[in-house]
Structure 1
Amino acid sequence: MPSPHPAIVLPRLIAHRGLSAHAPENTLAAVRAAHRAGCDWVELDVQLLGDGTPVIWHDATLKRCSDSRGKLVDLDLPRARRLDVGAWFGDAFRGERMATLQEMLALIEALDMGLNLELKVNRGRSAAALVECVVPTLLETLPAQRLILSSFDGNALALARDLAPAERLALGVLFEGIPRSWRQRCEALNAFSVHCDWTRLKKAQAQAIADEYRLLCYTANDPTAFAPRWGWGVDSVISDDPERFANHLPN
C-alpha cells in the first residue's frame, strides 16, 4: 500500500516564481511581495551554479533576468553575487541579488509560507547533483506540511524519493500535456500531486487525476477563461498575479 502523505492544506492560489507580475521572478523581493499580497504559498525554481551552490533561478542562461549574459553553469557564487537581477524588471528593484536556496528558505520560514519548489534540470546538468544538494537542505528547514518538491525530470523525482519517504516529502509530477502514462509515473513515485499546463488539460483527464491526486495548474492569469476548470477538480492555480482571481474562486 502507498505510504501516507503529509497533511498539506493547499491554498487555491500559489504565486508563480513569487509575485512575478509585480516583482522580478524568483527573487526575495518577489516572495516578500507575494506575502504582502496575502499569498500563503509560492512556487520557485532551483538549480546549481557551476560551483555547486543551489540558487533560485529558472533559465539556463542569464540574459532574460539579469544585467549580464552567459550561462548559469559558468558562474561561482562571488560572480553570481555581482549580478543585478532586479533592474530588468524596474528601477524599484535595482540592486536585487540572486538568492541562494539557503537565503530563500530562511525567508519562507520567517514568513511562515508554503513552498512548491521545482527542481530545474536544464540540458546538460546533473539531476543527481541537484537532488543530493537540495533535498537534505529542504528536509532540515521546512516542515513537510509546507513543502512540495516538483519536477519535469522523472529521474530527479525518483532520486528525491530515494532520499525521503512520502510521509516526509510530497512530490509533484510536472507535465505539459497529460500523457497516457501519467498514472504509472505517479504511482512509481508515490506522488502527492500532478502539476500541468492549464491550457492543455482536458476535463476527463482532470477528473481522473483528481480522484487520486492533488491537481495543480500552471500558469493561469485569466480567471474567467480558467473558471470552468475549478469544476473539474483542480485544487490550486499557480499564477503570476493571484490577486486577479480574488473574486473568481469557487465556494
Structure 2
Amino acid sequence: MEIFAHRGLNHQAPENTMTAFRLAHESGLDWIETDVDILGDGTPVILHDSTLDRTTNRTGSIYNLTAADLSKISAGVHFDGPNSEQYAQEPIPTLDDLVDFLNETGMGCNLEIKSNEAGGEMSLNLLEAVEERCFQRLKDRSPERLLVSSFNHVLLYIIHQRHPEIATACLYTKDNLWPDALSVCELVGAKTIHPQNEGLTPEIIKHLKQANLTINVWTVNDPTRTRELKDLGADGVFTDIADEMTTALR
C-alpha cells in the first residue's frame, strides 16, 4: 500500500512547505501530496487554501498577490508542532521550488490542482502554469513519480486531452461520490480515484475495484483503519503521520 505524506510531513513541520517535504524524504517515504494554485500575477504556488488566513501571518485572498509579496509572508507562524519557533520565516514555496526538489530527490508527488475560485480564465492560467513549470521541467513524469489530482474534473479532462501520458485522479468528498463517479473517471481519462475516508464502505470499494480503478483514500490517520482499507482493496492512503503510519504497518 502506498503511503502519501499529506502536505508533506505536516506534524513535524508546517504543511506544504519545503521543510515538510524534505522531512518526508529524510524519513524514507516515497510519496508526498501537495496543492498548487496561482497568484494574481500568474505565479504558481504551493498552498492549500485560497486565502492566507489559516496558515500564514497575512490575511486575504492569494489572488491579489504577486511573487514580490512572497518574501513578506511566513507559512510557519501558526505551526504548533515540535520546534515551532524555528519556522517563523518558513516561506510559501513556488511550484518551481517543488519541481527542483522532486528532480533532486526523485520522490513521487501527487499534485492536486486546486479548484481555482477566481474564474475560468484563472483556472486555465493555473493549468498552463502547471504545464510549463511542472510537466515541462519535471525529469520523471512517469505514473510511478507523478499523479495529478483535482476536484475540478474539467481540468483533468483537459490535461488528459493535452497530455495523455500524465496519470490523473478524480478527487471526491463523501457527499459527491455518486454512482456516476465511474463514468466521470472514464470520461476524463482518470484511472485513479481519491475518495474521502469518511463514509467509504466496503461495498463502495468493491464497486470501484470492479471498475479497475486505483483507490487512494484521504485523509487516514488511524493505522487500524489503514489496515482495514488495505484488506478491502484500497491501494493507498493520504495521511498526516506518514512516517508513523509506515512504521505501524510493517
> Would the TM-score normalized by the shorter structure come out above 0.5?
yes
Percent identity of equivalent pairs: 32
Aligned 8 A contact 2:11 2:240 in 1:
yes
Distance in 2 (alpha carbons) for counterparts of 1:49 and 1:194: 28
Q: What residue identity is the alignment partner of 1:148?
A: L
Distance in 2 (alpha carbons) for counterparts of 1:32 and 1:238: 17
The 5 A counterparts of 1:1-251 are 12-89=2-79, 90-125=84-119, 126-142=122-138, 143-145=140-142, 146-165=145-164, 168-177=165-174, 178-211=177-210, 212-249=212-249
Deviation (angstroms), 1:247: 4.6
Q: What residue identity is the alignment partner of 2:196?
A: D
Distance in 1 (alpha carbons) for counterparts of 2:155 and 2:2: 27
- Runs (4+) of structure 1 moved beyond 6 Å? none
Deviation (angstroms), 1:73: 0.5
Structure 1 length-normalised TM? 0.90
Structure 2 length-normalised TM? 0.90
In structure 2, relative to structure 1, the CA distance for the partners of 1:200 and 1:187 (3 Å cut) is same
1:4 maps to: none
Deviation (angstroms), 1:153: 0.5
Distance in 2 (alpha carbons) for counterparts of 1:248 and 1:210: 25
Deviation (angstroms), 1:248: 4.1
Deviation (angstroms), 1:209: 1.5
Aligned 8 A contact 2:157 2:188 in 1:
yes
Distance in 2 (alpha carbons) for counterparts of 1:249 and 1:181: 33
Deviation (angstroms), 1:14: 0.7
- Deviation larger for 139-148 or 232-241: 139-148
- What whole-Å deviation, never above 9, does each CA across 1:91-119 have from its counterpart, x for those lacking one? 12121111110111101111110010000
Q: Secondary structure at the match of 2:158?
A: helix
- What whole-Å deviation, never above 9, does each CA across 1:153-198 have from its counterpart, x for those lacking one? 1111112122201xx2000100012211111101112212100111
- Unmatched 5+ stretches in structure 1: 1-10
Aligned positions, number: 238
RMSD: 1.5
Deviation (angstroms), 1:22: 1.2
Distance in 1 (alpha carbons) for counterparts of 2:118 and 2:77: 29
Distance in 1 (alpha carbons) for counterparts of 2:245 and 2:20: 18
Distance in 2 (alpha carbons) for counterparts of 1:200 and 1:217: 11
Q: Secondary structure at the match of 1:46?
A: strand
Aligned 8 A contact 1:135 1:163 in 2:
no
